[in-house]
């Protein structure tokens, strides 16, 4: 009997020990498994983050310093005001004007241009308001002190090269023209139409106004007196701001007065007509 109790006690003790072993080992296993999972998880996220932040782009190439590239700019625009010229006591000659440059399809900016010496003489003799030109030069800053003592900075381009932009339509351009639905031929792109309207408002005196005299409704409303380029107010690619600008122009010129005659350009301030 004592032997059986001893065996039973021993067996119970062993069972208890085994149970305790098992109970202790389970938390030990769970605790051990959790860090390994977290390690794998954070390693995965870490590698993902590295794949995003370590992306690289090619470094820009280096070029030697060149004086002709210093603050150099290239502009294409329309001469907004007549060229003025001045002969300095030192013998140098300076001329200046403003260039209307397109910001987008409906807005323009005025850029001050300065010409020196021979180029100043060329500009004063050949540049006229409304001409479309290409100018390359250097961007510089002038500072002027106001009466209140404040210093204002003004940007201008000192021109080094001057070219006219060809306005004759090539055979390819003519082939690319399409009808606007009324039998009229217009350019298939909006850029050239916008530029023509800008040229018109910059110098309306160079265009025939046929609005009141045309017999055929398909005839152009305006036609350039030298190049023959045509504009229609209700054309497919006519910018929306044209109607309001025409109202301003007609109000200044006298509505329906002298249509078809050369308009006096000096009556139309460039800063108002070009502020589309």
Q: CB-based burial of residue 222 (10 Å sphere; 0-12 exposed, 13-18 middle, 19+ buried)?
A: buried
Same domain, 269 and 244: yes
Q: CB-based burial of residue 207 (10 Å sphere; 0-12 exposed, 13-18 middle, 19+ buried)?
A: buried
Same domain, 195 and 251: yes
53: pLDDT confidence band, cut at 50, 70 and 90? low
Q: What angle do CA 128, 131, 136 make, to 5 degrees?
A: 100
Same domain, 189 and 119: no
Percent of the chain with pLDDT over 70: 62
pTM above 0.75, yes or no: no
**Would you say residue 86 lies in a domain?**
yes
Same domain, 116 and 202: no
Same domain, 94 and 32: no
Domain stop point among 164, 188, 213: 164
Same domain, 119 and 45: no
Same domain, 21 and 73: no
Cα–Cα distance between 193 and 196 in angstroms, integer? 5
Question: Helices 190-202 and 241-253 sit at what angle, rounded to 10 degrees?
Answer: 20
Distances (CA, A) of 200 to 79, 197, 206, 257, 274: 12, 5, 8, 18, 10
Nearest alpha carbon to residue 275 among 98, 105, 107: 107
Condensed to tens digits (0 to 9), the pLDDT of residues 87-146 reads 999 999 999 998 888 776 666 778 899 999 999 999 999 998 888 899 999 999 888 777
Distances (CA, A) of 42 to 31, 46, 156, 264: 17, 6, 57, 77
Domain stop point among 164, 196, 228: 164
Cα–Cα distance between 62 and 69 in angstroms, integer? 14
Condensed to tens digits (0 to 9), the pLDDT of residues 160-204 reads 999 998 865 433 343 344 443 444 444 444 447 888 888 888 888
Same domain, 177 and 260: yes
Domain stop point among 106, 136, 164: 164
6: pLDDT confidence band, cut at 50, 70 and 90? very low
Q: What CATH number has the domain bearing residue 135?
A: 2.40.50.140
Output the pLDDT for position 86: 94
**Would you say residue 81 lies in a domain?**
yes
**Would you say residue 62 lies in a domain?**
no
Same domain, 153 and 92: yes
Pairing of strands 151-164, 132-145: antiparallel
Same domain, 111 and 203: no
Same domain, 24 and 114: no
**Would you say residue 89 lies in a domain?**
yes
**Would you say residue 203 lies in a domain?**
yes
Average pLDDT, the chain: 71
**Would you say residue 228 lies in a domain?**
yes
Higher local confidence (pLDDT), 47 or 143: 143
DSSP for 91-157?
S-EEEEEEEEEESSSS-EEEEEEEEEHHHHHHHHHH--TT-EEEEEEEEEEEEEE-TTS-EEEEEEE
Output the pLDDT for position 168: 56
Tell me how many domains the chain contains.
3
**Would you say residue 61 lies in a domain?**
no
Find the domain containing 145 and state its range: 67-164
């Amino acid at each position: 009997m004592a032997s059986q109790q001893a065996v039973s006690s021993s067996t119970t003790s062993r069972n208890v020990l085994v149970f305790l072993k098992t109970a202790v080992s389970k938390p030990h296993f769970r605790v051990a498994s959790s860090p390994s999972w977290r390690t794998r998880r954070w390693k995965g996220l870490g590698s993902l983050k590295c794949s995003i932040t370590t992306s690289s782009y090619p470094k820009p190439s280096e070029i030697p310093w060149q004086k002709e590239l210093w603050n150099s700019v290239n502009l294409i625009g329309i001469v907004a005001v007549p060229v003025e010229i001045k002969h300095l006591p030192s013998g140098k000659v300076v001329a200046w004007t403003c260039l209307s440059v397109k910001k987008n399809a409906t807005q323009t900016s005025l850029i001050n241009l300065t010409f020196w010496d021979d180029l100043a003489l060329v500009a004063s003799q050949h540049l006229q308001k409304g001409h479309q030109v290409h100018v390359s030069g250097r961007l510089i800053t002038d500072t002027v002190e106001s009466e209140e003592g404040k210093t204002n900075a003004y940007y201008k381009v000192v021109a080094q090269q001057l070219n006219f932009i060809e306005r004759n339509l090539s055979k390819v351009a003519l082939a690319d023209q399409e009808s606007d639905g009324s039998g009229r031929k217009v350019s298939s792109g909006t850029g050239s139409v916008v530029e023509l309207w800008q040229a018109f408002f910059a110098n309306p005196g160079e265009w025939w106004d046929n609005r009141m005299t045309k017999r055929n409704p398909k005839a152009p409303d305006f036609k350039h007196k030298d190049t023959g380029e045509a504009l229609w107010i209700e054309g497919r690619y006519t910018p929306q701001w044209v109607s309001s600008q025409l109202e301003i122009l007609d109000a200044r010129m006298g509505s329906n007065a002298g249509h078809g005659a050369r308009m006096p350009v000096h009556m139309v301030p460039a800063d108002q007509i070009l502020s589309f």
